[in-house]
Structure 1
């Protein structure tokens, strides 16, 4: 069994990959999608979204990182996949799951699930362009507005050369609304002879146990659930070998959150850094009651120094309560 960290545009960047894989339990992760249109991208574009390429394609914790491409032009995707491999990508992943309207309108992501023949051509071209030693994988949803064609799409991808599938168990139209239809993951796994990962609505250890029971697959990709509970992969990894680990407490998480803030502040202009922190902190409120109060204190703050003071004060309060 393997646990993967999902690619999420604007959320799971190099910094988030670093912090979450450091917590433990993640076997591999994926870049945010690199958009391919009608040309061979410069290496700088790859390094912008996948700086780990310059460090052996691993996060600082040593977790392998795959490069994900998104587009609809088979030949252009193939050329860019070949370049990514030359730069050190250990696996090429192709995105057929993004539900964003702007992406779908320009023939990228989940909209391509309407065209299984095109999916097959894309996989064939990319597989031919990539060295045989480098796997090509794909991430898909159950369909655009209906799961009726999910099995045809899965077969098209695998027949074209995908060595592994991740199935987000909802259609594009369903977006991120619960529930995730894990029973369809089971149907996909029955239809193809490659490993299938279940993805969608795994927020807790109990969710993972139910997902495994319903989908029948062992492998899982965690997205928002892992961002909201950074030790979720660690809990699942322990459970799969019969161990129980103490859940990460607020006091253990807070230093990671503070580091995230400081590194975001160093990377981003002062007008953008607060939003990056609020994005993660808002998601943490789902798993940590303490995050709710901190989020309320920070949500209207735009002054970076004031936010720094609030984080330091929270750390001090946690230490006092622990002592």
Structure 2
């Protein structure tokens, strides 16, 4: 059983990956997507999304990080994948699941599930462009507007050479609204010779167990559930729940890294965003969230949240992202 940490654009970046993998239980991380659109990207662009590339493609806790690409041009995707492969990521993942309207409007993400032939071309082009030793994986949803072509899309991706497939158990139209349709996954899993990883609406250890039982998948990808409960993966693996006493100390290094990597006007929003998830489970997080809910000055956030917390240790100092 492997637990994957999901890519979540605008939320689960390298800073939060660092925090969430510190508590244990996560086996593999996937980055937010690198948008490929008509040009060969410079190394620094990949490193901005995945600074872990500068340290063996692993988080500070040692968890492997795969880098995700999003685009619709097989040639351009292949060229960028080859360049990325030279930087030795833990794997290259292909995004066929993003439901964002802006992304779909520019022919990326989940909209490609309406074109199984193109899915195959993209995966095959990337597979040919990178060394045979480089892992190539993909993520898809059950469909764009409906689920009628889920098997066709899954077959196209696998036939193109993907070695693993994560399936978010909802269509693009269903977005993130509950429920996730885990019962749709056995047909995909049974149709493919490659591992299928279940994803969607796993918030608790009980959800995790039901997802595995219903989907038949050994492996599960966690997203918002891990953001809300950073100890979820460890709880599933070892039965050890992370209480607030373990989570609170993560806020300081998170804030320090946000300050180094983010413009001041966006810094309070990043902390509020994480606290808004944490307060689903931890009342202490809600107390902090309410304290800074209307605050926009980073210095005031610093005073209100961290005035009584210990100063950061040298080991927690972040490197500024290039």
- TM bracket (short chain): over 0.9
Match of 1:273 among 267, 270, 275: 267
**What's the offset of the Cα at 1:290?**
1.9
- The correspondence of residues 259-298 of structure 1 with structure 2, limited to 5 A, is 259-298=253-292
The separation in 2 between residues aligned to 1:63 and 1:259, in whole angstroms, is: 18
SS of the residue corresponding to residue 265 of structure 2 reads coil
Q: For 1:248-280, what per-residue CA distance to the aligned partner results, in whole angstroms no more than 9, with x for missing partners?
A: 111221110122112212332221100111111
Q: For 1:58-95, what per-residue CA distance to the aligned partner results, in whole angstroms no more than 9, with x for missing partners?
A: 11111101010000000110111111110112311000
Note if contact 2:235-2:242 (Cα within 8 Å) is conserved in structure 1: no
The separation in 1 between residues aligned to 2:184 and 2:31, in whole angstroms, is: 26
Unaligned runs of 5+ in 1: 239-243, 317-323
Structure-1-length-normalised TM-score: 0.94
Note if contact 2:2-2:220 (Cα within 8 Å) is conserved in structure 1: yes
Unaligned runs of 5+ in 2: 311-322
**What's the offset of the Cα at 1:96?**
0.2
The equivalent residue for 1:112 is 112
The equivalent residue for 1:320 is none
SS of the residue corresponding to residue 123 of structure 1 reads helix
1:202 aligns with 2:202: yes
- The correspondence of residues 54-203 of structure 1 with structure 2, limited to 5 A, is 54-203=54-203
Note if contact 1:197-1:217 (Cα within 8 Å) is conserved in structure 2: yes
The separation in 2 between residues aligned to 1:269 and 1:38, in whole angstroms, is: 28
**What's the offset of the Cα at 1:100?**
0.3
The separation in 2 between residues aligned to 1:201 and 1:232, in whole angstroms, is: 13
SS of the residue corresponding to residue 25 of structure 1 reads coil
Structure-2-length-normalised TM-score: 0.94
SS of the residue corresponding to residue 264 of structure 2 reads coil
Q: For 1:196-253, what per-residue CA distance to the aligned partner results, in whole angstroms no more than 9, with x for missing partners?
A: 0000000000100110111011100000100110010111122xxxxx22x2111221
The separation in 2 between residues aligned to 1:158 and 1:75, in whole angstroms, is: 19
SS of the residue corresponding to residue 291 of structure 2 reads helix
The separation in 1 between residues aligned to 2:20 and 2:157, in whole angstroms, is: 29
The equivalent residue for 2:298 is 304
- Given the superposition, is the C-alpha separation of residues 276 and 18 from structure 1 closer, same or farther in structure 2, using an over 3 Å criterion? same
Q: For 1:20-47, what per-residue CA distance to the aligned partner results, in whole angstroms no more than 9, with x for missing partners?
A: 1111111010111000011211111111
The separation in 2 between residues aligned to 1:260 and 1:90, in whole angstroms, is: 24
Q: Number of aligned pairs? A: 310
The separation in 2 between residues aligned to 1:305 and 1:251, in whole angstroms, is: 24
